[in-house]
Amino acid sequence: MKTVISGYYGFDNIGDEAVLKCLVEGLKERGLTDITVLSNKPDETNKKYQVKAVNRNSFKKIYKALKQADALLSGGGSLIQDKTSSKSLWYYLGIMLIGKFLRKKVYVIGQGIGPVDKKFNRWLTAKILNKIDGIAVRDELSKEYLKQLNVRKHIVVAADLVLNFPCSDDKKVFDKVREKEGIDLNSSEYVLICTREWENSELSRVELARAADLIAQDYGYKIVFLPFYHEDIEESDRVATYMKTPYEILTGEYEIEEILNIIKGSSLLIGVRLHSLIFAFISLVPFVGISYDPKVEGFLKSVGESSAGDINSFTAENILKKVNSILQQKEEYINNMSKRLDELKERAKKNFDILFEHNKFEV
**Three-state DSSP class for 184?**
coil
The full set of domains in the chain, from first to last, is: 3-157 (3.40.50.11930), 171-344 (3.40.50.2000)
Asked if the model's pLDDT at residue 209 lies above 60, the reply is: yes
**Three-state DSSP class for 33?**
coil
Cα(278)–Cα(274) distance, integer angstroms = 6
Beta strand extents in 210-344 (DSSP E only): 222-225, 247-249, 268-271, 287-289
Cα(104)–Cα(112) distance, integer angstroms = 23
Q: Tell me how many helices (H) and strands (E) the chain has.
A: 15, 12
State the DSSP string of 285-314: --EEE-BSSHHHHHHHHHTT---S-BTTT-
* Arithmetic mean of pLDDT over the chain: 92
**DSSP summary character for residue 175:** H
Sheet holding 247-249: strands in order across? 247-249, 222-225, 190-194, 268-271, 287-289
**Three-state DSSP class for 38?**
strand
Asked if the model's pLDDT at residue 331 lies above 80, the reply is: yes
User: Residue 319: which H helix or E strand, with range?
Assistant: helix 316-328
Which percentage of the chain shows pLDDT scores above 90?
Answer: 80
Residue 187: predicted pLDDT? 64
Cα(322)–Cα(315) distance, integer angstroms = 11
Residue of 177 and 75 predicted with greater confidence: 75
| Residue 336, C-beta contacts closer than 8 angstroms, at least 6 positions apart | 304
> What's at 159, amino acid-wise?
A
Asked if the model's pLDDT at residue 184 lies above 80, the reply is: no
Cis check: omega of the bond before 115, within 30 degrees of 0: yes
Cα(263)–Cα(9) distance, integer angstroms = 23
Distance between alpha carbon 128 and the CA centroid of its chain, in Å? 24
Residue 178: predicted pLDDT? 72
Residue 173: predicted pLDDT? 72
Asked if the model's pLDDT at residue 170 lies above 80, the reply is: no
Residue 188: predicted pLDDT? 67
Cβ density class 171-210: b for 16+ within 10 Å, e for less? eebbebbeeeeebebeeeebbbbbbbbeeeeeebbbbbbb
Tens of pLDDT, residue by residue over 29-50, are 999 999 999 999 999 999 999 9
Cα(247)–Cα(314) distance, integer angstroms = 22
Residue 359: predicted pLDDT? 62
For the ranges 85-89, 146-150, 254-258, 305-309, which has the lowest average pLDDT? 254-258
Cα(203)–Cα(316) distance, integer angstroms = 11
Sign of CA dihedral 17, 21, 24, 30: negative
> What's at 331, amino acid-wise?
E
Cα(316)–Cα(181) distance, integer angstroms = 28
Candidates 241, 130, 225, 231; CA nearest to 183 is 225
| Residue 179, C-beta contacts closer than 8 angstroms, at least 6 positions apart | none
pLDDT band for position 2 (cuts 50, 70, 90): very high
Residue 363: predicted pLDDT? 44
Residue 199: predicted pLDDT? 77
What number is the average pLDDT over the span 228-240? 94
Tens of pLDDT, residue by residue over 80-101, are 999 889 999 999 999 999 999 9
Residue of 310 and 76 predicted with greater confidence: 310
Cα(62)–Cα(36) distance, integer angstroms = 10
Q: Which residues make beta-bridge pairs with 194?
A: 271
Q: Rounded to 5 degrees, what are φ and ψ at 247? A: -150, 165
CA 53, 55, 61, 67: dihedral to nearest 10 degrees?
Answer: 50
> What's at 177, amino acid-wise?
V
Residues in the chain: 363
